Amino acid sequence: MTSSLLRAAEPTQIPDQPGLWFVFKAGELLLKDDLPLRGTAEVLDGLEPTFLLHLGSFENTPILACELSPDIALPEGWKAVSLRAAISLLGDPLYGVAGYASQALYWARTSAFCGTCGHTNGPLRQDLARTCPNCGHVAYPRVSPAVLVVIHDGDQILLAKKPGWGRRYSIIAGFVDPQESLEECVHRETLEEVGLEVAEVQYLASQPWPFPHQLMVAFSAKFVGGTIRLEEDELEDAQWFHFSQMPELPPPISLSRQVIDAWLASRKGQLQTTQ
């Protein structure tokens, strides 16, 4: 959850006062003048939402999230944008609230029934968990951790690309397995995807990535052995790149790009201090 949002006690209790509305249709966020709709429920212009949640307050304004049926026509002046496009339109911290709204709605939609006994689940609690009234099973919103690894060897960094990425390269990434530490995941993914061994695994930073519910956790790791051997189901290419000859990289908003840029800045800084 974005640190600027104070959660509501009952997400299903909709307040009467004007709020900020994060309205989604077919996975896209609806904006008016490049901003979320603002006002009472009348801003929905008579359109009936399939899910409607009161997520809490942001800067003393109620935050509402809802989904509209994919086949409705948008009122004049409304615009549908992807959540990725909303990053640059909304900026922080409003984009963070949009990401939380997207994940809360996704969870509301996919947790309607108990995963243990199949009974209709109870309402969303303040922490978005649901308790099954039949068997007592408690289900929490899904968050899927994935590691990103800056594998470095002196002045070189290991970058790879997947099929469909065109000329863009990025760092190694992979989802954490059950009963696996983040550091173990770094070693396993590096070995599986490119056949390399690493050491000195160090935490760098993390970033929520609501597509639909990832948590990216970035590490650096020093190359210690092996030659590049591609996992061909996953990757199209992987190469060592000198810091002065970077290929096309991911967009600046992504954590992968931010940790690549930080590594590049540190190598260039070291070069200047040794000249």
* Interface contacts to Zn ion, rule CB under 5 A: 114, 116-117, 119, 132, 134-135, 137
Q: Are 128 and 107 in contact (CB under 8 A)?
A: yes
Of 83 and 132, the one with the shorter C-beta distance to Zn ion is: 132
What Å distances lie between residue 98 and 10, 53, 176, CA to CA? 19, 13, 25
Of 26 and 135, the one with the shorter C-beta distance to Zn ion is: 135
Report, in Å, the least distance between residue 103 CB and Zn ion: 23
Which one-letter DSSP state was computed for residue 95?
H
Q: Please, what is the end-to-end C-alpha distance for the chain in angstroms?
A: 45
Q: Are 15 and 29 in contact (CB under 8 A)?
A: no
Of 138 and 265, the one with the shorter C-beta distance to Zn ion is: 138
Report, in Å, the least distance between residue 111 CB and Zn ion: 12
Q: Are 105 and 67 in contact (CB under 8 A)?
A: yes
Report, in Å, the least distance between residue 125 CB and Zn ion: 15
Report, in Å, the least distance between residue 120 CB and Zn ion: 9
Of 113 and 241, the one with the shorter C-beta distance to Zn ion is: 113
